[in-house]
Amino acid sequence: MSTEVSIIPEEFQIKNEIHQKTYLINGELISWKGSTTEVYSTISSSVPYKRTLLGSIPDLGEKEALMALEGALKAYDQGKGTWPTMKVRDRIECMEKFVTQMKTKREEVVKLLMWEIGKSLPDSQKEFDRTVDYIYDTIEDYKQLDRNSAKFQQHEGVYAHIRRGPLGVVLCLGPYNYPLNETFALLIPALIMGNTAIFKPAKFGVLLITPLLEAFKNSFPKGVVNILFGRGRTVAAPIMKTGKVDVLALIGNSKSANALQDQHPKSNRLRLVLGLEAKNPAIILPDADMDLTIEECLTGTLSFNGQRCTALKIVYVHEDVQKKFLDEFAARVDAMKFGNPWEKGVKLTPLPEPDKPSYIQELIDDALAKGAKIINKKGGKHFDNYIWPAVLYPVTKDMRVYQEEQFGPVIPVLSFQDIEEPLDDMAASNYGQQVSLFGRDVYALAPLIDTLANLVCRVNLNSSCQRGPDVYPFTGRKDSAQSTLSVHDALRSFSIRTFLAFKDNEINKETVNQLLETKLSNFTSTEYIL
């Protein structure tokens, strides 16, 4: 889509490019004079169409990666460091200082979200605000976790003071589709539990970290947060090869996760916190409320152009309602508004990956060659930085669009008569994150829910798939996830139960009482945080 500069509202125009010249290692923003990588937006600021240069980032290498690792190792200091041994109250103060500074950068980050990844203005604002809420919710849950631990238990003559302790050094890699929220959903709980971290932003949505670098530097002790820029295989692989990373925290695809795991020489010692790909289906039963179903399927398939792991990526519709669904759904897809992220009411926006339209076209061409048809009139229509969502039917299992996670605007639809057909497909799938189930007959729904709950980790009844609210578990089976992310669960994913134990005798009681009275130990404490 081509847009004249004058049409872009002044507050959203790119007036100054951001050429990031520093990176954060061991508490210092280090200047970079080496090679850089230019960062472009697929949104045009001129006619004819031309990608917009947003700025550049350092193209760091193995040397800088190992320096970041050394900074994180030094800050952890084999568990003796200031951060892992710090009082819970003090770690919370650091996190509160960070989020207070972060909030002052809302306007800059929201603007970069729109330009870098094409996320609409309301969704960009929501991502920022949701991330701030996530941090505050994490702080509150951490306080409750600490309150629950501020006690001693006694069984069979043995006392125990059980807390959760950090794991060590975390390598954190976030996704481009939620470069702030999902990245921080890894980084924030990892840090607050006492781990130290090396963080590399995603390929797209990288400049929006720039306004936050000072806040990271100012809020945490040296080496607790280290931020690298560059290619993942160039900076992440050397770090993993050392075997000194304790946790790999990654939201992305399983190929990247497997490649990085393979680099680690002692993978049995590596804790994995992974949010990976999915092929979430919608199953539409014959008694489904069609208006509600279509509304939820539109949101599920095309929110942020389908570039979400939680997106509905395949639709199963019962033969009895297949025609009605397709006719109405196709018309609604064609009626959606396409435009730049700041335009009012826009639902479809430019794709951040320049090669994504051609990839989606490949999927469409393959499906058409194997017997599918484009049901909607606009399906497959090209712009400079977009391809209109194609509703494809009938889709068969030999088509690429059935087999691959499309992560973009194309919607494969299959019909079924026997409910065992979609159930068998889900059981055979490599993925098992979520499903959307549409229907009202409880006698049909009850056994389905019981089965689906054992195939995926979230069954959405008459609702599109989604991650939130963030207090609910977010995980998956098979190739879709490892560990659970939510405000509550993430604190546990980035920590381990550890405790002080002692036999019930006078010497031990006297010693522990003195430990509590003198407050010399940050671990052995019954202080209560309100």
pLDDT digits (tens, 9 = 90+) for 128-166: 999 999 999 999 999 999 999 999 999 999 999 999 999
Q: Which of 177, 172, 152, 175 is nearest to 163 (CA)?
A: 152
Q: Is the pTM of this model over 0.75?
A: yes
- How many Å apart are CA 115 and CA 93, to the nearest integer? 33
- 46 pLDDT band, cuts 50/70/90, is confident
Question: CA 373, 379, 381, 382 torsion: positive or negative?
Answer: negative
Say yes or no to pLDDT of 306 above 50: yes
- How many Å apart are CA 178 and CA 373, to the nearest integer? 32
DSSP structure string for 421-457:
HHHHHHHHSSEESEEEEE---HHHHHHHHHHHTTTSS
Q: Is 315 within 8 Å of 411 (Cβ atoms)?
A: yes
User: For the packed helices 232-241 and 254-263, what is the interaxial angle rounded to 10 degrees?
Assistant: 40
DSSP state of 210: G
Strands (E) located in 327-395: 373-374, 382-383, 386-387, 390-393
Q: Is 151 within 8 Å of 497 (Cβ atoms)?
A: no
Contacts of 260 (CB under 8 A, 6+ apart): 171, 236, 237, 240, 248, 250
Q: Which of 69, 427, 433, 6 is nearest to 223 (CA)?
A: 69
- How many Å apart are CA 196 and CA 189, to the nearest integer? 11
pLDDT digits (tens, 9 = 90+) for 466-521: 999 999 999 999 999 999 999 999 999 999 999 999 999 999 999 999 999 999 99
